[in-house]
């Protein structure tokens, strides 16, 4: 009998019709987003990490000229010795920025430096280390060289008229290099999402205020700021709002009038001072409010006016877990129109981990790499949803999906690094 009761209660989260799995919640969030389409022109340096709003068509071949990949001697591939050695007359030199203006004939070669234009009549470079000097203006080259070697062909990296970067691409340091190599100094990028956030709770005090019994310093606004700062979004910090229905209603409409996305923390459970869900019901629309996960079970998702709304739980760890799992992918999709799931990898667990089937658990772990590259992960101690040090010591989540019923030390588990989400 007790077995039956336990097996029902352990899965009752998902048995509730309005409780979503983590995957279902992610899907529903993405399905409600219309990616930003408006754009602005930015100079190259300011465009790093921004999302392109245009295809970049190359105006040039890169490299622009066929040139040498080595310091050495340029010759014709048809004129290489078939066997033994051959003496060549050095008829001049070609430097990067100072090409040789002449023709190179059989029995002749041109001293050439890396990046210098290949002289007419040459298509092959012999490294200087493979050449013996015989007199001041002659060199000796042996056999075994391949016609065409050590030469970079015009347009071999990028050809004029080709699409180099596609719209919706997020610009990386390499892309800034490519764009500048094409002489492009400005690009059209999408507007960044505007994100407003505030904490809710009568017990919350700001830094500098004194704490009465039961008060706590507001930490969620700082961890949220930190996570948002690492994304390319505009941040609007709206402070702390009391558990007061009128003040909350005002804050909601204020935030929604300014931002694409509104994030709150706290007040989403079903306690007496939990007003977020009823206000969203009155002033906007609720998409869902329960996910079978731990921590982070109550998460209210919906819309106020034209803004997406995320009512994150109050507990500091739950705020960070739900942000990484739902808000960050949503912001990335809003900004780029490209869906990207967080990267995960397999690691050997150093611990036994207790878990009952039912909810998806995100335990905090420390992932380490051994000398041979093998990955092991261990838990960061206490896993309570208020234990924020479990997040600060961790570098990854240990992913324990709904149907997982525990892990034994030595088992493989899937982990997700915090800072490698795309």
Q: Which residues bind Mg ion (CB under 5 A)?
A: 201, 266-267, 314
- Tell which positions 336-365 bind ligand AMP, by CB under 6 A: none
Distance of CA 200 to the CA centre of its chain: 30
Residue 254 backbone dihedrals phi, psi, to 5 degrees: -60, -50
Min dist. Cβ of residue 385 to Mg ion (A): 13
Question: Which of 127/222 has CB closer to ligand AMP?
Answer: 222
| Euclidean distance between CA atoms 195 and 202, whole angstroms | 23
Token readout for 332 is 């990335």
Min dist. Cβ of residue 416 to ligand AMP (A): 24
What are the residues facing 348 on neighbouring strands? 376, 412
- Contact at 8 Å (CB) between 397 and 338? no
Residue 68: CB atoms within 10 A of its CB come to: 26
Tell me the CA end-to-end span of the chain in Å, nearest whole number: 48
State the binding partner of 302 from Mg ion, ligand AMP, none, CB within 5 to 8 A by kind: none
Min dist. Cβ of residue 204 to ligand AMP (A): 5
State the binding partner of 199 from ligand AMP, Mg ion, none, CB within 5 to 8 A by kind: ligand AMP
* Stretch touching ligand AMP by CB under 6 A, among 48-56, 91-99, 265-273, 367-375: 265-273
Question: Which of 79/203 has CB closer to Mg ion?
Answer: 203
Taking CB under 6 A as the criterion, the residue among 110, 204, 291, 396 binding ligand AMP is 204
Question: Which of 297/378 has CB closer to Mg ion?
Answer: 297
- Give me the 184-203 binding string for ligand AMP, x by CB under 6 A, dash otherwise: ---------------x-x-x
| Euclidean distance between CA atoms 152 and 161, whole angstroms | 19
Point out the residue whose Cβ comes nearest to ligand AMP.
314
- Tell which positions 49-108 bind ligand AMP, by CB under 6 A: none
- Tell which positions 209-248 bind ligand AMP, by CB under 6 A: 216, 218-220
* Stretch touching ligand AMP by CB under 6 A, among 71-79, 90-98, 263-271, 326-334: 263-271
Q: Does 21 bind ligand AMP (CB under 6 A)?
A: no
Q: Which uninterrupted H or E stretch holds 174?
A: helix 173-181
State the binding partner of 296 from Mg ion, ligand AMP, none, CB within 5 to 8 A by kind: none
Q: Does 266 bind ligand AMP (CB under 6 A)?
A: yes
Residues that bind ligand AMP (rule: CB under 6 A) add up to a total of 18
Q: Does 400 bind ligand AMP (CB under 6 A)?
A: no
- Give me the 312-331 binding string for ligand AMP, x by CB under 6 A, dash otherwise: -xxxx---------------
Min dist. Cβ of residue 61 to ligand AMP (A): 56
Q: What is the 3-state secondary structure (H, E, C) of 325-351?
A: HHHHHHHHHHHHCCCCCCCCEEEEECC
State the binding partner of 269 from Mg ion, ligand AMP, none, CB within 5 to 8 A by kind: ligand AMP
Reported residue count of the chain is 422
Q: At what angle do helices 276-283 and 245-258 cross, to 10 degrees?
A: 60
Residue 344 backbone dihedrals phi, psi, to 5 degrees: -130, 165
Min dist. Cβ of residue 292 to ligand AMP (A): 18
- Contact at 8 Å (CB) between 315 and 309? no
Pairing of strands 151-152, 194-200: unpaired
Residues in contact with 291: Cβ distance below 8 Å, sequence separation at least 6, in sequence order: 19, 20, 21, 22, 25, 297, 299, 360
| Euclidean distance between CA atoms 253 and 145, whole angstroms | 74
| Euclidean distance between CA atoms 247 and 261, whole angstroms | 19
* Stretch touching ligand AMP by CB under 6 A, among 11-19, 29-37, 158-166, 307-315: 307-315
| Euclidean distance between CA atoms 364 and 22, whole angstroms | 17
Residues that bind ligand AMP (CB under 6 A): 199, 201, 203-204, 216, 218-220, 265-269, 271, 313-316
């Amino acid at each position: 009998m007790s077995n039956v009761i336990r097996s029902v209660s352990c899965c009752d989260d998902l048995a509730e019709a309005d409780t979503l799995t983590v995957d279902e919640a992610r899907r529903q969030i993405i399905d409600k987003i219309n990616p930003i389409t408006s754009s602005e022109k930015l100079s190259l340096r300011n465009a790093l990490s921004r999302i392109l709003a245009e295809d970049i068509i190359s105006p040039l071949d890169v490299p622009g000229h066929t040139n040498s990949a080595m310091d050495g001697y340029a010759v014709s591939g048809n004129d290489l010795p078939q066997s033994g050695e051959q003496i060549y007359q050095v008829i001049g030199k070609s430097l990067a920025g100072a090409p040789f203006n002449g023709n190179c004939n059989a029995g002749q070669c041109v001293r050439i430096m890396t990046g210098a234009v290949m002289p007419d009549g040459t298509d092959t470079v012999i490294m200087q280390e493979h050449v013996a000097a015989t007199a001041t203006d002659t060199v000796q080259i042996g056999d075994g060289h391949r016609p065409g070697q050590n030469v970079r062909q015009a347009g071999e990296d990028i050809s004029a008229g080709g699409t180099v970067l596609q719209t919706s691409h997020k610009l990386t340091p390499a892309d800034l290099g490519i764009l500048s190599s094409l002489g492009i100094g400005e690009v059209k990028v999408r507007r960044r999402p505007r994100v407003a956030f505030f904490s809710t709770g009568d017990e919350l005090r700001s830094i500098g205020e004194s704490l009465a019994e039961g008060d706590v310093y507001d930490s969620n606004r700082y961890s949220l700021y930190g996570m948002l700062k690492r994304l390319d979004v505009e941040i609007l910090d709206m402070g702390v709002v009391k558990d007061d229905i009128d003040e909350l209603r005002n804050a909601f409409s204020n935030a929604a009038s300014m931002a694409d996305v509104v994030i709150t923390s706290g007040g989403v459970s079903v306690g007496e001072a939990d007003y977020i869900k009823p206000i969203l019901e009155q002033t906007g629309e609720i998409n869902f409010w329960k996910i079978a996960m731990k921590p982070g079970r109550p998460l209210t998702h919906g819309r106020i006016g034209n803004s997406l709304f995320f009512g994150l739980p109050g507990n500091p760890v739950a705020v960070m877990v739900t942000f990484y799992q739902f808000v960050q992918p949503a912001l990335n999709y809003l900004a780029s129109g490209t869906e990207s799931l967080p990267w995960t990898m397999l690691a050997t667990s150093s611990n036994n981990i207790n878990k009952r089937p039912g909810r998806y658990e995100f335990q905090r772990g420390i992932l380490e790499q051994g000398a041979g590259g093998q990955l092991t992960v261990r838990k960061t101690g206490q896993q309570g949803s208020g234990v924020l040090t479990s997040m600060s010591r961790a570098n990854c989540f240990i992913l324990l999906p709904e149907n997982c019923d525990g892990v034994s030390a030595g088992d493989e588990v899937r982990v997700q690094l915090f800072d490698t989400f795309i």
